[in-house]
Amino acid sequence: WQVGRSAVIDIEIAPFITAEELGEAGYGDYEDLDVAIAVATIRGICGWHISPKVELVFELNSDGSDVMELPSYHMDEPTSVRDGRGVDANDITGWTWSRNGLIGFPRCGRPRGLGNIVVTATSGLTNVPADLLAVVADISKQRRDGSKRDFALRQKTVGGVSYTYADLSAGDRGAVTGPYARYAPLLDRFIL
């Protein structure tokens, strides 16, 4: 992580939709693994967990900036803002926050260093927007229908050994690139 970026400490967050729930929502029948992979792909592209709404612990690498960004576009007021993670950590007071994951610090409350600011807050959407479910369904459908072969597959021969790999940089340029570029109009509004 870069200074000024944060990491989510609590990473055991269930997928925001299951195969059963996707079927009940009218998107068709899918396997749990395909749906879990589609959700993980979307979360990876967007840079945050999106849903469900859960309490998370964010650890910031602080360069002393007065405003820091947490990986969330839908955050409730933090319940804790501390100057570290150890037993000697103290509460930081006088901070401000925004729902889109920004937290501002007073001049005297900006520690510097790696992992020097730890924020606890509830984050995530209560309900997953239908357009995201459509992307999950489409990615899952590609896997289900046997098109597990990525349309950005490349092959290389090194020392007599042939390798086939997915070139995720292939395709259009923008916030969403490579084989998932076609989802850019839907995913761009969720990308950090």
119, 60 Cβ separation under 8 angstroms: yes
CA 157 to chain centre: 34
CA 72 to chain centre: 8
Q: What predicted TM-score, i.e. pTM, was given to this entire model?
A: 0.76
- The number of beta carbons lying within 10 Å of the beta carbon of residue 34 is 21
Taking alpha carbons only, the member of 174, 171, 188, 172 closest to residue 135 is 188
Q: Is 161's pLDDT higher than 80?
A: no
Task: Choose between 167 and 67: higher pLDDT.
Answer: 67
70, 61 Cβ separation under 8 angstroms: no
Residue 190 φ then ψ, to 5°: -105, -5
Q: What is the pLDDT of residue 2?
A: 37
CA-CA-CA-CA torsion sign (34, 36, 41, 46): positive
Model pLDDT for residues 35-93, shown as the tens digit of each residue? 999 999 999 899 899 999 999 999 988 888 899 999 888 999 999 999 988 888 999 99
